[in-house]
Amino acid sequence: MKEKAKDWSPRLWLRILLPTVLVIIWVALAGLGGPTFGKISEVSTNDQAGFLPASAQSTEVNAIAENFRDSEYIPAIVVIVSDSGTIASDEMTAFDELATSMQESPGVAPATDPLPTSVIGPIVSDDGAAIEYIVPFSAAGEELLADVVELRTLVQDSTPAGYTAYVAGPAGLLADFVNGFGGIDGILLLVALGAVFLILLIVYRSLLLPVLVLLTAVFALSASILGIYWLAYNDIIKVSGQSQGILSILVIGAATDYALLMVSRFREALFEVQSKWAAIGRAFRGSFEAIAASAATVILALLCLLFSDLNSNKALGPIAAFGIGFAFLSAVSFLPAVLVIFGRASFWPFMPKVGKKKVEAETAEKIPGLEGIRGLWRRVGTLVSKRPRTTWIVTLVVLLAACAALPGLKASGLPQTDFLLGNNIESVDGQKALGEHFDAGSGSPVVIIAQEADYAEVMAATLENPGITEVSVQQDQEAVAAAIAEAVAAQAAAAGGAPFGAMPDAMSGAQAGPPAMPEIEPIPKVVDGQVLINATLKYQPDSADAEKVVKELRVTLAEVDPTVLVGGETAIALDTNETAQADLTRIIPIVLAVIFIILMLLLRSIVAPLLLIFTVVVSFGATLGVSALVFNNVFNFPGADASVPLFGFVFLVALGVDYNIFLMTRVREESLQIGTRPGILRGLAVTGGVITSAGVILAATFAALGVIPILFLVQLAFIVAFGVIVDTVLVRSLLVPAMAYDIGRKIWWPSKLGNGKP
């Protein structure tokens, strides 16, 4: 048996210098990182193109399409619907004037010669009940949100009485997404930190300790935000509102978990020794290995997302891992520094005193490993020791019963309009109105890249698909302008010099004033021997019907031109969903293998890691099963994004293993002293309170994601929060210790401890 390490007693100058320097460093990092909370949205992107699969057709189309665009723009679709079902002809003047006003609205792309405006419309629906405009925006992010708000105000103020107006389309939807993520900087952090503070206050009944733990978490988040901001600013990583929200919650939750383990060992040591330096030395030695292993597990599990084919996942992995790294550093440097500065006062008014720890009065029945243990965890330990097999079998049956509902989880993808939660969302309502009166795919066409020699056949084959209503080729604007100028000059000469005038009337097509712009045969723009074709969908672009059309086009058009590529908004959504589902089967085995290796090195065993991996996977399956029941029958969600199971797995498995690491490292430590079965009971009892507290806090912090009205984040919040509770209450408290107790010392095989030789 190894001798216990001597208590740490540094020299006076080191006692003053070390904690002071550590605190100053972290305060400086927080001071620099704090202001970046409000600035990180400047380097964030929330458009769907940022989530593109790296190897999908839609990605290639998106890259090629850049060569066909004179400038970047995002279209907004303005839909104005008559409440009476008829548009009065005398009101068309107001709608013509609205087009002119919208052209002057902030952020709208400028007109290009020879066209007088970049705004397309007013276009009257076939049923004569609605009007449509296509308004291109050149801005993005927060600037786009402000410009769309300006446009919505203009449209509402300019729309005659008796009409309902909406600003929808890609620009409107993106603006609403940006607005939805707007709560991340403020509300989300306030809710998460408030929940953590309240739980810590209840658990420790101390006024100062919750502040110290929260400072540990906030400083870790500030430092990580600072680093991520500069990485994103220099285009090294890509940040989205989604990854920003997950980062905040993950860092706060992980830093709090690590802090609670350190605090628990510090408090335990203060009952044993008088010196706060000796106590912090014992706490550091007792908790560092578990904290380091836990952080390494989560970091490596998150970095497994680099194997994903989705750009969004590849970006989130390093971002979240970066944050966990700072959570670890803060918990093992800043927190010990402030704990040793305040000492016992950290727990005021219930300060631990040497030799004054309350213990349970011994009963006639003495259970090895539970000596001196009182309360709930003595009762749990007693249950595990008396009926280990019954305990783990019953617990496992309950979890497997929950797993049976797993097939009911509808995670095959959703329309983007279903991602926004709440009522009266203008982009969602506008898309519905657009689908009722126009081709629902207006403004979000299917983008097809074809060879110049075959483009006419490709257009004809595309138009044969019943889901396509219109096909047009991207034209060479300079060639068209030259052709128009030539035709106008000829027209003017034939008319005796009459000038070129107004466009045809929007409703009747009758000539208004001077001669209309002459019709010119399409002149395709050719780049590297390719042309770009736009195909208007009959269906809403983010619907299942639209995705079916894209699949059909990819098959039929390949027969005309084997090199043809089909992309656009619908194709992006389709490729993203299919890639997310493929990632699930690719990444899960990698994550499990990484976690197994870390556990094997940490516990010096093969059996124990296999047991822990098994229990965590069962816990994850049970969580998804219950989530399916809740999503379908309680919240009535229309489905789930295809990436929800993957994110849920990575976060829940990585974080769930944390609690097993906290438990089993202490069990191994105790087993070396008193034997395996007593060590299991002792480890369960002494870690019970801190792990349960950590689990409740982590569940509360992830539940805070539910305040953001984005379906993906709400579902992820429920999955992780519920799963963490399952891990702490059932898996770590009953299933793992009961199975380990039933197996006995063989759980440490093939180490010497497994052979009864500590």
244 plus 282 within the same structural domain: yes
**For 321-349, what is the mean pLDDT?**
92
61 lies in some domain: no
Distances (CA, A) of 662 to 602, 652, 738: 11, 16, 16
Residue 184 above 80 pLDDT?
no
pLDDT in tens, 662-673: 889 989 989 988
5 lies in some domain: no
pLDDT in tens, 372-391: 777 888 899 999 999 999 99
4 lies in some domain: no
Bridge pairing between strands 163-168 and 74-82:
antiparallel
Question: Using CA atoms, how far apart are residues 574 and 542, in angstroms rounded to an integer?
Answer: 9
358 plus 282 within the same structural domain: yes
608 lies in some domain: yes
103 lies in some domain: yes
568 plus 581 within the same structural domain: no
* Contact criterion met (CB below 8 Å) for 168 and 74: no
**DSSP string over 285-296:** HHHHHHHHHHHH
**For 652-660, what is the mean pLDDT?**
80
Of 541, 574, 607, the residue that ends a domain is 574
247 plus 369 within the same structural domain: yes
CB atoms within 10 A of CB 108: 23
* DSSP at 536: E
Question: Using CA atoms, how far apart are residues 92 and 488, in angstroms rounded to an integer?
Answer: 27
CB atoms within 10 A of CB 397: 10
Of 406, 429, 452, the residue that ends a domain is 429
φ/ψ of 495, rounded to 5, equals: -95, 10
In three-state secondary structure terms, 206 is coil
* Contact criterion met (CB below 8 Å) for 471 and 533: yes
259 plus 126 within the same structural domain: no
64 lies in some domain: no
Question: Using CA atoms, how far apart are residues 463 and 460, in angstroms rounded to an integer?
Answer: 5
609 plus 543 within the same structural domain: no
Residue 735 above 90 pLDDT?
yes
pLDDT in tens, 565-605: 998 888 888 888 888 888 888 898 999 999 999 999 989 89
556 plus 596 within the same structural domain: no
pLDDT in tens, 523-547: 788 888 888 988 988 888 878 888 8
Question: Using CA atoms, how far apart are residues 381 and 370, in angstroms rounded to an integer?
Answer: 7
Using alpha carbons, select from 263, 250, 246, 255 the residue that is nearest to residue 328. Answer: 255
Residue 675 above 50 pLDDT?
yes
In three-state secondary structure terms, 75 is strand
2 lies in some domain: no
pLDDT band at 92 (very low <50, low <70, confident <90, very high): confident
223 plus 144 within the same structural domain: no
The better pLDDT of the pair 517, 189 is held by: 189
Single-letter amino acid code for the residue at 356: K
Of these ranges, 123-132, 242-251, 748-757, the one predicted with the greatest mean pLDDT is 123-132
**Domain of residue 737, CATH code:** 1.20.1640.10
Counted domains in the chain = 3
**Domain of residue 114, CATH code:** 3.30.70.1440
Percentage of the chain beyond pLDDT 90 is 22
**Strand ranges in 87-206 using DSSP code E only, listed in sequence order:** 120-124, 130-137, 163-168
Question: Using CA atoms, how far apart are residues 407 and 4, in angstroms rounded to an integer?
Answer: 52
**Domain of residue 495, CATH code:** 3.30.70.260
Q: Which of 244-248, 499-503, 520-524 has the lowest mean pLDDT?
A: 499-503
234 plus 296 within the same structural domain: yes
If 0-12 CB within 10 Å is exposed, 13-18 middle and 19+ buried, where does residue 367 land? middle
Can you give the pLDDT at residue 606? 93
CA 204, 208, 210, 212 torsion-angle sign: negative
556 plus 642 within the same structural domain: no
56 lies in some domain: no
Can you give the pLDDT at residue 644? 87
Asked whether the bond before 349 is cis by omega within 30 degrees of 0, the reply is yes
Percentage of the chain beyond pLDDT 70 is 85
86 plus 196 within the same structural domain: no
513 plus 492 within the same structural domain: yes
Of 396, 429, 462, the residue that ends a domain is 429
Can you give the pLDDT at residue 227? 87
Question: Using CA atoms, how far apart are residues 296 and 386, in angstroms rounded to an integer?
Answer: 35
Domain assignment of residue 213, given as a range: 12-47+180-415+577-755
* Contact criterion met (CB below 8 Å) for 85 and 129: yes
Residue 358 above 50 pLDDT?
yes
